[in-house]
Structure 1
């Protein structure tokens, strides 16, 4: 039967009213970094396949991956790897029932962001 009372239901919050929380943004970013890591893995696979295919194919793949664009992609992949790893550890902690209150969850989200940046810089500079 048709809902004749449609006008009395509340509307969803619009983007002008809704303020994204840190925990929702870190959750979305975890999904984005997971997909980005797949793309980085495809590039590395392309490099290995090109190495097996012959010198011409390898020269093309190597030129792309060692260019400024390739270095930028790998830098982003390093950050995505650290971010995704730390977010996975956070989810393991949450699965155990710890850190579920809002204050702790926000501190963990901020820790993931700061930690991933610091670990990325450490990886690039030291290694």
Structure 2
């Protein structure tokens, strides 16, 4: 028979679980997926509307993200690097989940190591990507 002690939680709660990198990458996977979908959709719709609106409308869209020399400005850098980091973080956690789906990597130490590796790899891949792209 179940205990009727009101002080005892009915199921595991956030107060019981210790925070770990595996929890963080799980949340980041959801956040990056939703963020890329939202920001990407908004940018695509804005870009298409700017194209349909003519040269002046497109120039306004372009000027929000670039300088007069054609390089990314601060807003453009934040959006571009943010989307790139989100893409690589989402991709790395997706690969981690693929490995977990095979039944491997569930040992606590291995799971935490893979979780940390996703964060390190996503930052490294973002840096390499922008170095190759010639970030100015």
Q: TM-score range by the shorter chain?
A: 0.7 to 0.9
Task: Tell me the residue number matched to 2:69.
Answer: none
CA distances 1:8-39 after superposition (whole Å, capped 9, x unpaired): 5248554xx86411101110011111111113
Task: Tell me the residue number matched to 2:116.
Answer: 110
**Structure 1 position 43, deviation (Å):** 4.2
For normalisation by structure 1, the TM-score amounts to 0.83
Structure 1 residue runs of 4 or more that deviate by more than 6 Å after TM superposition: none
CA distances 1:59-85 after superposition (whole Å, capped 9, x unpaired): 121112324112211111000000100
Deviates most, 53-62 or 112-121: 53-62
Work out whether residues 83 and 116 of structure 1, in 8 Å CA contact, stay in contact via their aligned partners in 2. Answer: yes
Task: Tell me the residue number matched to 2:33.
Answer: 34
Find out whether 1:52 has 2:52 as its counterpart.
Answer: yes
Q: Which has the higher helix share?
A: 1
What is the aligned length? Answer: 123
Say which of 85, 91, 101 aligns to 2:97.
91
Distance, in Å, in 2 between the alignment partners of 1:18 and 1:85 is 26
Give me the CA root mean square deviation: 2.3
For normalisation by structure 2, the TM-score amounts to 0.78
State the SS of the aligned residue for 2:29.
helix
Call closer, same or farther: CA 1:111–1:8 in 2, change over 3 Å. closer
